[in-house]
Structure 1
Amino acid sequence: MIASVLILAGQRAGVVDPLCEAAGVSHKAEIPVAGVPMLQRVVSALRDASLPEPFFVSGYDGSNLSEVPSGAGPADSVRLALEQIDQYPCLVTTCDHALLTEEMVRSFIEGAEAAGTDICVGLATEAVIQPDYPETKRTYLRFSDVAVSGCNLFYIANAEGLKAISFWQSVQHLRKNPLKLARKIGVGIGIKFATGRLSLGGAFEYAADKIGITAAPVLLPFAEAAIDVDKPSDLALVETILGDRSA
């Protein structure tokens, strides 16, 4: 059973987000999506899933949520926040997950609990995403058995899971370059990935062994789980999807 919820809402210091500039707001969490601030949409989905409150938010002080420390990047913020929160299992998501729903949250948590590992990462496959949204440009990690994209959902079962966060701090700058990321984990695993011989499960097992924890992916059947709001085209797509939901 989830003990705490952390929403990442920070942004890089000194960088003007074009979405914020266009919306006339100072923080991404405040950007209206179909008339509702992004952060509010995320909070509503989490409440619909009956997760324990108060929810914690990192990197934004303009809400009535419990504010916790934020760092220079997502991994830094998770580590700093969880060192203070210290309540596990913890569900971590982001403020720009405007399409998040109760069903996505429940599906992810059920998958993570069934895995029984120290940390789980929510993913959606290209086969799930592309048929519904061929126009969306995603960064896919291509393994021998499947291509996957992140869903901004993380389940940290216990303090051991923080070891994975510390490792992510050291490689997060490579997240858009899967080959360099694989090589950072190990030369052998990098070669297997580059030659298309590395499976998704094998990648998680190898990385977990290297870090000294257990980890597993949770594949979600929702294409929308992989769509966040990072650029104007994302915002337009998300608002179209929300309009279709309302209709």
Structure 2
Amino acid sequence: MDGKITALIMAGKRSGIMDPLATRAGVSQKCVAPVLGVPMIERVLKEVAGCDQIGAIHIVAHEADEIKALPTARALSAEGRLHFKEGKFNIVDSVFSGAEGASFPLMITTADNCLVTSDGYAEFIDKALSAEAGAAAALARKEDVQAADPEGQKKFYEFSDGGYSNCNTYWIGSDEALKAAEIMREGGQFVKFPKRIAKAFGWMNLVRFYFGWGTKEMIFEQVSKRFGFKLVPIVMSRGEFAIDVDNERTFEVTERLLKKRAAAAG
């Protein structure tokens, strides 16, 4: 896939924990639970595959068989474009597993990102390339997220230039940037463990972030210095890209927004 971006779709499951949305849908993992009648990962896979900048697609999963049986997965596998990689115990090892045999840059997204479109992925890739990012994270403005749906997100990262929400879409520009993910290995639920954040990013960066001292660009620049490569915040044009299917509330929000989108499309 010369000149194309490799996409990693993270479709793992928590060890020993059955997701409530999967239980309700009668499936073994959340990523194949239907949203508005279509399995989550089927939606995501279609949008990722429909982005012209993306070539090879790697799905990182603990249980691949349910996913392989889906129509889009079958078609892309037959084309030789889709490859399955083994999900590991933690997110960092799962990313390393997904990156095996891949060419850089990598774009990482999640199997529950049901509202991100092919155009959204293209926007993120174009902005990452334009910024010459070593690594990047997609963000949406608080006001855009709330305008999309007031119930879409409850928590935001606050910087001096405003509030932002994570869109669960990331960029890794090189093998060097991928190796830097090692520092995140102990992270787990990062926001709940400030000492782990401090170990990764430094105490001053943690203080700046906690008190909202500095713009997002300033914070990312400071973290870039610690990592040794350019880490870039990429602001997306649509607030709904920050809403993924985490629970019953966001499930209902996602279905509501998908219905609205379908009605607008005629």
If the length of structure 1 is used for normalisation, what is the TM-score? 0.91
| Contact 1:97–1:228, Cα closer than 8 Å, also in 2 | yes
**Alpha-carbon distance between aligned partners in 2 of 1:163 and 1:70, rounded to the nearest angstrom:** 18
Distance 1:169 1:7, change over 3 A: same
**Alpha-carbon distance between aligned partners in 1 of 2:247 and 2:192, rounded to the nearest angstrom:** 16
* Matched residue SS, 1:153: strand
Distance 1:244 1:98, change over 3 A: same
Structure 1 residue 72 corresponds to structure 2 residue 89: yes
Structure 2: any 5+ residue segments left out of the alignment?
A: 74-81
- What's the offset of the Cα at 1:214? 1.4
Distance 1:53 1:224, change over 3 A: same
Equivalent residue in structure 1 for 2:198, among 183, 190, 204: 183
1:37-66 residue CA offsets vs partner (Å, 9 max, x unmatched): 111101111122124444210014121441
- What's the offset of the Cα at 1:168? 2.4
Structure 1 partner of 2:64: 61
| Contact 1:174–1:180, Cα closer than 8 Å, also in 2 | no
1:11-50 superposed matches below 5 A: 11-50=13-52
Structure 1 residue 199 corresponds to structure 2 residue 202: no
1:49-128 superposed matches below 5 A: 49-59=51-61, 60-62=63-65, 63=68, 64=73, 65-82=82-99, 84-128=100-144
Distance 1:54 1:211, change over 3 A: closer
- What's the offset of the Cα at 1:173? 2.4
Question: Is 188-197 or 210-219 further displaced after alignment?
Answer: 188-197
**Alpha-carbon distance between aligned partners in 1 of 2:197 and 2:220, rounded to the nearest angstrom:** 11
Distance 1:244 1:214, change over 3 A: same
Structure 2 partner of 1:213: 229
Distance 1:112 1:14, change over 3 A: same
**Alpha-carbon distance between aligned partners in 1 of 2:136 and 2:92, rounded to the nearest angstrom:** 15
**Alpha-carbon distance between aligned partners in 2 of 1:209 and 1:96, rounded to the nearest angstrom:** 32
Report the residue type matching 2:171 in the other structure: Y
**Alpha-carbon distance between aligned partners in 1 of 2:234 and 2:32, rounded to the nearest angstrom:** 29
Structure 2 partner of 1:152: 168
- What's the offset of the Cα at 1:190? 2.5
Distance 1:3 1:104, change over 3 A: closer
| Contact 1:2–1:91, Cα closer than 8 Å, also in 2 | no
* Matched residue SS, 1:85: coil
Structure 1 residue 10 corresponds to structure 2 residue 5: no
- What's the offset of the Cα at 1:181? 6.1
1:167-220 residue CA offsets vs partner (Å, 9 max, x unmatched): 22233422356x656534222222333333132112111112112221101100
* Matched residue SS, 1:76: helix
| Contact 1:138–1:149, Cα closer than 8 Å, also in 2 | no
* Matched residue SS, 1:134: coil
Which consecutive aligned stretches of 4+ in structure 1 deviate over 3 angstroms post-superposition? 51-54, 179-184
Aligned-pair Cα RMSD in Å: 1.9
- What's the offset of the Cα at 1:140? 1.3
**Alpha-carbon distance between aligned partners in 2 of 1:234 and 1:25, rounded to the nearest angstrom:** 19
Structure 1 residue 226 corresponds to structure 2 residue 242: yes
Identical positions, percent: 29
**Alpha-carbon distance between aligned partners in 2 of 1:52 and 1:199, rounded to the nearest angstrom:** 31
* Matched residue SS, 1:213: coil
If the length of structure 2 is used for normalisation, what is the TM-score? 0.85
